[in-house]
Structures are given as structure tokens and as C-alpha cells.
């Protein structure tokens, strides 16, 4: 490559010297003692594909939420290109170079593939072949590099044939680079750059509204729920006036027809995961728990204001629900039944499955959000207190509701707790998500009549709170007896929470 470039530069210098009237002797001298030439890697075309990089946690595709650019937009390094959302979090993709956007490879709501081109960028400066390799590692890149080398070889041979043609003139090719006015560039850069949280975008898709039709009143033009409500109100008033002007017999038949909608990214992920879960034989077990003592303990903490110095982790007494007690009880039970806190490996060698008992108790908690069901992870439950668990659950729930969970908040779940009781219902059949081997669903705590022996030894009917725990276990790995014993272990802890304090370290 370097020899060919040096030859090309000598050839151009020769033609320049001939056109300048420099003597042949001086020319031969310059050839005999050539100036040291500049060394560089061969340059390639300025239009380069910008790839969607791996954003972690084994994610292979993401949904394009919005574009901040369009063909013809001028971008600088680190300018936002687009926002993509996986089943776990949304990420803003920024440009690695400055230049002009030539084309977009996906439309909004399309699924972008990790490792494939997002956009083509006409970069400001020519880049070397080595740099291009770090930008675009696509199938066939070796072939493209070989074609570039072949083209350079052909050019060298052509110049050698032209060496005998004394009348050869050099006419360098020129290319006019289109430019946009500052006003047009500003308009282009702002188009499509509406700002909103993933929860708001999910609401807009559900209502089939275009975010660019709504004027955002938040910071930097951010679209808020109040802006959507105002837009719908104004839109509804306009429709009412139009209907008033229509004849009485006018109807809108299209509003009564079927509607086809695309699955959201969260729904697509749920579709894939649940389809895979069909291969797991589920063993189901339910047990009911008298939570009188837990409720007494929880309310005592709420009522005793002098305990406020204990809430140093960010938890408040009003946020201490039944869930942190359940998580702590399950964690204690897993010390005796570690097979329920395990991962089943079927990928490395399906003929020889392996079970990995996990040292950390990382519990996924299902959270109902505007964008769908999310399962962030409470890590190292075995090292938490009930108070710190309450704080962590509150933090994850708050971030989930506004779509601000990070990818790290979804990593490493070893067991899942689904609190369907927060919505209603007592009995549920939870579905296991591999590689986990068990899951529990919490029903709604309800008041039921029960028997109680008073101080006189008489049995009386009293009102008591009752919670149903619904267990599912992978029956290929866990037998019914092991699952039932673990479930009853948890019941014993929750019916007498004082025993938890005996095991704390």
C-alpha cells in the first residue's frame, strides 16, 4: 500500500514539474534523491455506517423510540442520534463523529439489531482504513478491504502504462459538498428531538398520538402528562364543534372497526420469555399464612415515632409493607433450601444440565408500570435488614414508574417474587423464567374469621389477616416435598417474625 501511494505521489510530482518547466536534470535529481514522503494508511470513502453497540446484559435488539436526526442533519461528536429502548431500560445513543447524516436504517418503533448499522454518516474528515475497521465490523468487511487493495493495484498499473504518454494532463476530480444554511441546520437538528420519559412515550403510543404535535411545557420542552391532557382536551373540543356542524345522519363507521396494534418492546420480550417458559414443567404449591404478628410489628414501627433514627437508609415507616418481611423470610429459608435459589444451565451442554446454587439472594420483584411489567432486582437480600429492604424496594419502584431504571437494576436475579396482591386476587399460578428454577406469587391480604384461645382457655372466633403464597417450581429439578418444606419454613417465619431476630448476624 505504502509503495503504491509513494508511486502515485511521485507521478503527480512529475507531471507538476513538467508543467512548471523544470529541467529534466533537476527532475532526475529529484528522482535520485527523493524527499521523504508522508506515510499514511489508505483512505476510504467518507460515508461510514454507525453501528448500534452492545449495551449490555446480552441484549441483541432494541426498539427505536425516537430519532433526534434525519437525512441531511449536521451532527457533532457526542450529539444524540436516537433513543432506543430494550425490555429493561432506554438508552440515548450519541454520535462518535461529526458530519452529515446520509440515511437512517430504521423507522420509529422498528427493532434495531446490535452490531448492525443505525445510520450512515458523511464524516467531516476522511478516515483511514484502520479507523474504518473499528467503526464498521460487518460481514464482508474483509472482502471490502481486499477490493480496496485491488483497486489501488489497478491504479498503480494504470499509472505505469501512462508513464510513456508525455502529453498526459492531470485533472483532479472535484466533488461539491452540499452545505446547509445555519437556519436550516438549526431546524434540522431540532426536528424530531422532542423530550419525554419512556412512560410518557408509552402513553402516547397507547393513545396513538404524535409527540411532535404536542407542545411540551417542561424543562427544555419536555412533554409532561399535563401537556397530553391539554392537547386531548383541545382536540376533543375541535371534534365536538365539527360534529355539531355535521348533518344528523353523518356517522364515523371507522371508529367501530377492528384495530391492529403492534406489540410494545416490553410485550415482545414477555412474548419470547413466556414462550420459552412453556418447556418448564411447573409444580404448584400454595399455603396460607396468618400475618397477625407481622401486621402488629409493622404497625408498631409506624406508630412509634421515636424509632425514626433507625430509618437512615431512606425508608420511611409508612413505606414498610408486607413485602420486605416476605423477602427476608424467603432469604432465611433459602439458607436451608439452597436449591430453590439456583440457576439451571441447559445451554453449554443440553445432554448434561448443571445446577448452580447461587451464593447471593438476588430477588426480582415484579412491578406494574405504565410501560408494562418490569422486574428490577433487589440484590443481596441476605445482607439486608427489613428496613433497608423497604428502602430499596421503594427506590426501585419509584424509578420503574418513570422509566429511569438502569441496566444494572435488572441484572442477576436468582429468584422472583410477584406481588399480584397489590392489584387484587389471592390465588395465582406464577410462571418461572429461566434460568431460575422457582418463583412465588403473593396474593392479597384479606381478613377472615379464625379461632383463638383466650386467657380462660375458651375458643372464640376472631378476625385475622391472611396471606396466600403461591409457589411454582421447576419439577425437573425440585421435587414437591422440597418445595413444600421451604414454603412451610417461610410460613413459620412470617407467623412468628420474632424468630427472624434469632437468626440475624
Written as nine digits, the cell of 467 is 396471606
Element (H, E) at 477: none
Element (H, E) at 272: helix 265-277
Place of cell 445446577: 355
Residue 119 CA to residue 320 CA, distance in Å, equals 48
Residue 356 CA to residue 410 CA, distance in Å, equals 19
User: Is residue 475 among the annotated active site residues?
Assistant: yes
Residue 422 CA to residue 406 CA, distance in Å, equals 24
Residue 140 CA to residue 443 CA, distance in Å, equals 55
Phi, psi of 381 (to 5 degrees): -60, -30
CB distance 345 to 477 below 8 Å: no
Among 101, 143, 152, CA closest to 122:
101
Among 113, 117, 108, 62, CA closest to 84:
62
Bridge partner list, 467:
289
CB distance 429 to 470 below 8 Å: yes
Which burial class, exposed, middle or buried, applies to 393 when counting CB atoms under 10 A from its CB (0-12, 13-18, 19+)? buried
Written as nine digits, the cell of 322 is 408486607
Preceding peptide of 481 cis, ω within 30°: no
Single out the catalytic residue among 109, 163, 240, 479: 479
Residue 301 CA to residue 255 CA, distance in Å, equals 54
A 10 A CB-CB count for 254 gives 7
User: Is residue 384 among the annotated active site residues?
Assistant: no
Spatial neighbors of 472 by CB under 8 A, at least 6 apart, are 282, 283, 284, 429, 430, 431, 432, 438, 439, 440, 441
Active site members? 475, 479
Amino acid at each position: 500500500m505504502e509503495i503504491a501511494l509513494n508511486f502515485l505521489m511521485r507521478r503527480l510530482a512529475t507531471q507538476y514539474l513538467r508543467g512548471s518547466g523544470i529541467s529534466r536534470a533537476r527532475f532526475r535529481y529529484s528522482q535520485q534523491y527523493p524527499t521523504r514522503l508522508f506515510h499514511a494508511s489508505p483512505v476510504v470513502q467518507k460515508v461510514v455506517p454507525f453501528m448500534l453497540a452492545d449495551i449490555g446484559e446480552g441484549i441483541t435488539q432494541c426498539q427505536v423510540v425516537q430519532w433526534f436526526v434525519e437525512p441531511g442533519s449536521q451532527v457533532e461528536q457526542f450529539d444524540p442520534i436516537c433513543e432506543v429502548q430494550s425490555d429493561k431500560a432506554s438508552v440515548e445513543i450519541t454520535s462518535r463523529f461529526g458530519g452529515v447524516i446520509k440515511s437512517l436504517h430504521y423507522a420509529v418503533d422498528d427493532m434495531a439489531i446490535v452490531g448492525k448499522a443505525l445510520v450512515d454518516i458523511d464524516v467531516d474528515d476522511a478516515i483511514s482504513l484502520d479507523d474504518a475497521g473499528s467503526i464498521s465490523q460487518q460481514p464482508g468487511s474483509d472482502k471490502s478491504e481486499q477490493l480496496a487493495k485491488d483497486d489501488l493495484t489497478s491504479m498503480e498499473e494504470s499509472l505505469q502504462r501512462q508513464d510513456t504518454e508525455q502529453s498526459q494532463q492531470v485533472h483532479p476530480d472535484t466533488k461539491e459538498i452540499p452545505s446547509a444554511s445555519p437556519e436550516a441546520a438549526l431546524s434540522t437538528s431540532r426536528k424530531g428531538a422532542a423530550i419525554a420519559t419512556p412512560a410518557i412515550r408509552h402513553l402516547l403510543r397507547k393513545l396513538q398520538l404524535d409527540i411532535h404535535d404536542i407542545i411540551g411545557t417542561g424543562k427544555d420542552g419536555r412533554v409532561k402528562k399535563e401537556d397530553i391532557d391539554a392537547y386531548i382536551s383541545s382536540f376533543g373540543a375541535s371534534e365536538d364543534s365539527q360534529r355539531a356542524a355535521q348533518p344528523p345522519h353523518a356517522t364515523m363507521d371507522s371508529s367501530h372497526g377492528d384495530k391492529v396494534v403492534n406489540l410494545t418492546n416490553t410485550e415482545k420480550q414477555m412474548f419470547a420469555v413466556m414462550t420459552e417458559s412453556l418447556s418448564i414443567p411447573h409444580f404448584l404449591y400454595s399455603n396460607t399464612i396468618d400475618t397477625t404478628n407481622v401486621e402488629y410489628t409493622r404497625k408498631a414501627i409506624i406508630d412509634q415515632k421515636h424509632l425514626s433514627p433507625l430509618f437512615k437508609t431512606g425508608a420511611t415507616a409508612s413505606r414498610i409493607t408486607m413485602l420486605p418481611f416476605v423477602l427476608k423470610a424467603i432469604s432465611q429459608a433459602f439458607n436451608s433450601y439452597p436449591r430453590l435459589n439456583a440457576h439451571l444451565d441447559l445451554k453449554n451442554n443440553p445432554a448434561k444440565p448443571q445446577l448452580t446454587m447461587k451464593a447471593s439472594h438476588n430477588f426480582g420483584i415484579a412491578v406494574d408500570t405504565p410501560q408494562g411489567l418490569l422486574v428490577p432486582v433487589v440484590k443481596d437480600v441476605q445482607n439486608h435488614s427489613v428496613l433497608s429492604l423497604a428502602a430499596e424496594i421503594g427506590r426501585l419502584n419509584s424509578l420503574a414508574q418513570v422509566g429511569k431504571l438502569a441496566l444494572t437494576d435488572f441484572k442477576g436475579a436468582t429468584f422472583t417474587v410477584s406481588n399480584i396482591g397489590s392489584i387484587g386476587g389471592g390465588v395465582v399460578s406464577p410462571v418461572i423464567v429461566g434460568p431460575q428454577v422457582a418463583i412465588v406469587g403473593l396474593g392479597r391480604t384479606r381478613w377472615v374469621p379464625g379461632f383463638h384461645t383466650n386467657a380462660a382457655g375458651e375458643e372464640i372466633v376472631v378476625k385475622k389477616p391472611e396471606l396466600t403464597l403461591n409457589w411454582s417450581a421447576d419439577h425437573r429439578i425440585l421435587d414437591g416435598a422440597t418445595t413444600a418444606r421451604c414454603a412451610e419454613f417461610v410460613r413459620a417465619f412470617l407467623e412468628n417474625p420474632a424468630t427472624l431476630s434469632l437468626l440475624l448476624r
